[in-house]
Amino acid sequence: MKILLVDDEYYILNGLYQLIHARFPELEIFTGDYVTKAREILYREKPDILITDIRIAEENGLDFIKSIKTDFPQMHVYIISGYSEFEYAKTAIELNVRYYILKPINQKKVVELVRQSMEEIVQERTRRENEIKTLVLAKKKVVLDMILEGGCSEELQEEVKRLGLASLFAGYRVVNISIKEYWTIATYSRSVQLSNLKMFIRNKLDDILREAAEDCYLCIEDETGNYTLITGVGEEILNAVLEQIYAVIYEDFRLYTEFQVSSRYEGELNFYAAYCESRGIGTKASRLLFYSGSESRIVKELEKIRYKAVDTMEQENYIQLASLIELMTVRFSREYAENRVVQNFSKELYRDIVSYLRAKMVEAHIDFNYEPADLSSDSTGYGRKKLADAYTALAENLRTCQQQMNARKNREMIKKVIAYMDEDISRASLDSAADYVDTTPIYLSIIFKEVEGIHFKECLIQKKIERAKRLLEDTDLHIYEIGALVGYADIKYFSRMFKRYVGISPQEYRNQSEENKEEHNR
């Protein structure tokens, strides 16, 4: 988010900059001390908020606002003035200026206004994005409905191109995604709960599809609670995507998913045939159920699971491994508990995972107090329940291991952040520290508080004050120089922060330090 400050008085302009930068470090701030420069910045950067003086040497502030208001109708505009004349206020209202700030400037009011604007802008952007997304989705659904009705006029073909669906129809498959027990939940749930469930499932589908297929897909829910997916990705990618959908929906909602996939088609004229095929009308679609009666298919699925298990273990992603294990338990033990291929594979994979984890936890100095189950073929009671219980217990232990590994990694990350703060105290900030350890500011802020028991900003201020105290004790630098060295360009703000944490001003602290040294040397 961007803000532009315009004033021909340096001290006011700099004061506003320091105030807003200190309170809203995430804001990108631009300044202009005359109208020509401000106008240039305005059209180049397109700020979200404008704060301008009403009297600028080159041009009247109100005239400036009037000249740019048409091009920036959504921009939040505030005026600063030492004059409270009615005509100024009247003109400002006509120009839709949000607030008329009288000098001397009330800093709290400025902070309140900027915060309010930022919140409103975020809300408005979210609202517009949702409206656009909903509108486009609705239009796409209308197009699909028209195709399903058998129409393919020139008007329809133009609409397909306009909505960006032409490339999708160049080569595609249609998938019917059916969520089992969906209507059982719908029958016994309140409308709000059902709506939330549908929204969550839709968001999960979009997240997975967007990452795997980019823009080469369209997914629409129908009245029966099923989803129609049209995608142009290759068969291998599609199978991987559908398997991920199956895993995520089961993990998050404990619902089972089945897929029926059409053959590959080209052109919107053939969409109706592809759609019918995916629904089992006429030519029967390929049913991608994640369990099958064919032993060769079982072996193929088992090998895919083994490969994924090894991959997730190497990446130390134990949460995903736990989900994979639970998925395997649901997919195979329920249907093939008596199948010897599944039994042998399950025992072998179970032992491999336990052995790998034991070695990994020793390497990471983490206790692995897990007693593996006896899955030997001659043990009594071997079957569906014994296998499921063993893997369920292992999945729970994997999640505990992941929590311990995450805690260790978080401690190492915060250790690096603290070292970075000590090394570059003058420029250190939450954003720069997050970049340094390759994470997001929000995540770093949360983890820092969990590990250190103190907020990042509070810790940084304390370190700045401690560094300043040492410089005051050991050097003859001026107060403003010490402030700059610890990241405070504004000497007044530095002095105020120092006194808040130490109880006395920097100069008083230096005087006390010198007196203590003299007493010690006597």
Which string of b and e fits 246-270 if b means at least 16 CB within 10 Å?
Answer: bbbbbbebebbbbbbbbeebeebeb
Is residue 289 very low, low, confident or very high in pLDDT (cuts 50, 70, 90)?
very low
Average pLDDT, integer, range 470-476: 91
Average pLDDT, integer, range 157-176: 74
The burial of 163, by beta-carbon neighbours within 10 Å (0-12 exposed, 13-18 middle, 19 or more buried), is given as: middle
Whether 117 contacts 90, CB under 8 Å: no
Average pLDDT, integer, range 178-183: 66
Question: Between residues 479 and 347, which one has the greater pLDDT?
Answer: 479
Question: Between residues 369 and 469, which one has the greater pLDDT?
Answer: 469
Return the bridge partners of 172, or none. Answer: 265
Whether 182 contacts 270, CB under 8 Å: no
| Average pLDDT of the residues of the chain | 78
- Cβ neighbours around 393 below 10 Å, total: 14
Query: Residue with structure tokens 């100095």?
Result: 365
Tens-digit pLDDT profile for residues 324-344: 777 766 665 555 555 555 666
- Proportion of the chain above pLDDT 70, given as a percent: 73
Whether 462 contacts 501, CB under 8 Å: yes
Look at residue 264 and give its three-state secondary structure: coil
**Strand boundaries in 266-363, DSSP class E:** 286-288
Residue 165 pLDDT > 70, yes or no?
no
Kind and range of the H or E element at 182? helix 182-188
Q: What does the pLDDT read at residue 292?
A: 32
Tens-digit pLDDT profile for residues 481-491: 999 999 998 99
Tens-digit pLDDT profile for residues 392-421: 777 787 777 778 888 888 999 999 999 999
Tokens standing for 36? Answer: 């020509």
Q: What is the C-alpha to C-alpha distance for residues 399 and 59, in angstroms, rounded to an integer?
A: 65
Q: What is the C-alpha to C-alpha distance for residues 152 and 160, in angstroms, rounded to an integer?
A: 10
Residues ≥6 apart with Cβ < 8 Å to 298? 292, 332, 336, 339, 341, 342
Q: What is the C-alpha to C-alpha distance for residues 419 and 425, in angstroms, rounded to an integer?
A: 10
Is residue 295 very low, low, confident or very high in pLDDT (cuts 50, 70, 90)?
very low
Q: What does the pLDDT read at residue 49?
A: 93
CA atoms within 13 A on the CB side of 301: 23
Of 88, 4, 104, 106, give the one whose Cα is nearest residue 46. 4
Is residue 287 very low, low, confident or very high in pLDDT (cuts 50, 70, 90)?
very low
Q: What is the C-alpha to C-alpha distance for residues 391 and 22, in angstroms, rounded to an integer?
A: 52
Kind and range of the H or E element at 99? strand 99-102
Query: Residue with structure tokens 């994640």?
Result: 290
- Proportion of the chain above pLDDT 90, given as a percent: 24
Is residue 429 very low, low, confident or very high in pLDDT (cuts 50, 70, 90)?
very high
CA atoms within 13 A on the CB side of 368: 19
Is residue 296 very low, low, confident or very high in pLDDT (cuts 50, 70, 90)?
very low
Question: Between residues 238 and 270, which one has the greater pLDDT?
Answer: 238
Backbone angles phi, psi at 4, to 5 degrees: -115, 130
Is residue 224 very low, low, confident or very high in pLDDT (cuts 50, 70, 90)?
low
Residue 422 pLDDT > 50, yes or no?
yes
Question: Between residues 55 and 45, which one has the greater pLDDT?
Answer: 45
Question: Between residues 166 and 116, which one has the greater pLDDT?
Answer: 116
Whether 252 contacts 204, CB under 8 Å: yes
Tens-digit pLDDT profile for residues 191-212: 545 666 777 777 777 777 777 6
Q: What is the C-alpha to C-alpha distance for residues 401 and 247, in angstroms, rounded to an integer?
A: 21
* Candidate from 36-50, 292-306, 323-337, 353-367 with smallest mean pLDDT: 292-306
Tens-digit pLDDT profile for residues 95-137: 778 887 887 888 898 999 999 999 998 888 888 777 666 666 6
Tens-digit pLDDT profile for residues 23-33: 999 999 999 88
